Amino acid sequence: MSFSFYIGREALKLWKRICRETAIEINLLADKWKYILGGLIFQYIHGLAARGVHYIHRPGPTLHDVGFFLLPELGQAKGYISETVFTILFLSFVLWTSHPFIFKIKKIYTVLIWCRVLAFLAACQFLRIITFYSTQLPGPNYHCREGSKLATLPPPNSVLEVLLINFPRGVLYGCGDLIFSSHMIFSLVFVRTYHKYGTQRFIKLCAWLAVIAQSFLIVASRKHYTVDVVVAWYTVNLVVFFIDKKLPELPDRISAALFLPVSKDSKTKEENHKLLNGNSGDPAE
């Protein structure tokens, strides 16, 4: 009986915490929605650009690459390994940015961290679009090589055919968008962000090791040339470094009262202040 009471009490506390955090994030989203929407729209633009360059991709002999010479080829059947590492990094970061809704001790605001991340991604992807449209290299991936039906796309029958991108097939089987690796953009932005705002040193170490492993796996899977990975490493890190200097620093959970609209009613002010400090006034918390 006491155990059931304990579970019920903890579940109630968790539900209250989720509700409080949701109220805070909704207020932040109401203020920052333009940045979130702009970042998401640019994700679509980036996908559209990658789709467009596939139409002008022309397969040819695979270029000489030192990474191909040094790393054994995994083969087409094992191409999922690098995708698995990327998926783990991606989902882990999404879960981490959602942790303020669950845990009592929290350092970040979900909306503000994603504003920052989307700014980093958009800047890196803008440079990527310019780069892969400047010079189209023959894709080293198996479906991009000479003889593959997927290496080139027939002229589109309508504008809608281009705009829909054909997700996920158009993303998984794209060709021509090589320099530099999109997977490395996402992974490096996520890991750098957690390295700055995360709290677990062991997880930081594991994250960096996973990105390094992914770099080798991408080349071993022949999804990119070595130059695509190398350019991503220094470009993404430099872009994030300089943009991070320009952006306002994220507030801590105590001083974030500036981000909520202040009511003229003193009681509402006090309630907002309690919400931002994670204090509901409930003695059970």
Q: Which residues are catalytic?
A: 183, 224, 228
Residue 221 burial by Cβ neighbours in a 10 Å radius (0-12, 13-18, 19+)? buried
Helix, strand or coil, per DSSP, at residue 132:
helix
Alpha-carbon gap, residue 62 to 144, rounded angstroms: 10
Alpha-carbon gap, residue 97 to 250, rounded angstroms: 14
Alpha-carbon gap, residue 269 to 16, rounded angstroms: 19
End-to-end CA distance of the chain: 22
Let me know how long the chain is. Answer: 285
CA-wise closest residue to 58 among 119, 3, 136 = 136
Is residue 68 within 8 Å of residue 140, measured between CB atoms? Answer: yes
Which pair of tokens denotes residue 97?
């940015």
Nearby residues of 58 by Cβ (< 8 Å), 6 or more positions away: 136, 138, 152
